[in-house]
Amino acid sequence: MHAISREPAHEQRQRQRERDDDDDETSQGVVTVRLPHGVSATAARVLVRVARTFCADVVLMVCDDHGRTSQANARALLDVLLLEARRGDAVVVRCVGPEASAAYAAVVSILLAEGAVDA
């Protein structure tokens, strides 16, 4: 016979997330975009495709000329495009999850590419 929990389902899910978060690693750093055309549509498509292959949350942050910070989920194409990261911009890359270090390395390698990236 199974024990019936009197705890609401949303609290059970929150407790499970907290347990799962204990296993997560974090990788973070600042990268200067070297892509010739910045994070263009093609580069964004490649970046999103790569970010989606890892079990990690990947967030990109850019500070504009007026000091405003924009943030994007690297798994969402529109978010990445709306960052409008140009060549020479400093981008904070933050990855959290079991594969954070691998996701960080892959995303950074795209942002540091001197040539055009292929979709």
Q: What is the pLDDT along the chain (119 residues), one digit of tens a residue?
A: 455 556 566 566 666 666 565 668 999 999 999 999 999 999 999 999 999 999 999 999 998 777 888 999 999 999 999 999 999 999 999 999 999 999 999 999 999 998 767 76
pLDDT of residue 6: 61
How far is residue 87 CA from its own chain's centroid? 19
Q: Which pair of structure tokens corresponds to residue 117? A: 């990236």
Main-chain phi, psi angles of 71, to 5 degrees: -130, 145
pLDDT given at position 66: 79
**Non-local CB neighbours of 92 within 8 Å, separated by 6+ positions:** 28, 29, 30, 31, 60, 61, 62
Q: At 80, which helix (H) or strand (E)?
A: helix 77-83
Break the chain into its structural domains and give their ranges: 24-111
Which CATH code, of 3.90.320.10, 3.30.1340.10, 3.20.20.70, 3.40.50.300, is assigned to 24-111?
3.30.1340.10
With a CB cutoff of 8 Å and minimum separation 6, the contacts of 46 are 110, 117, 118, 119
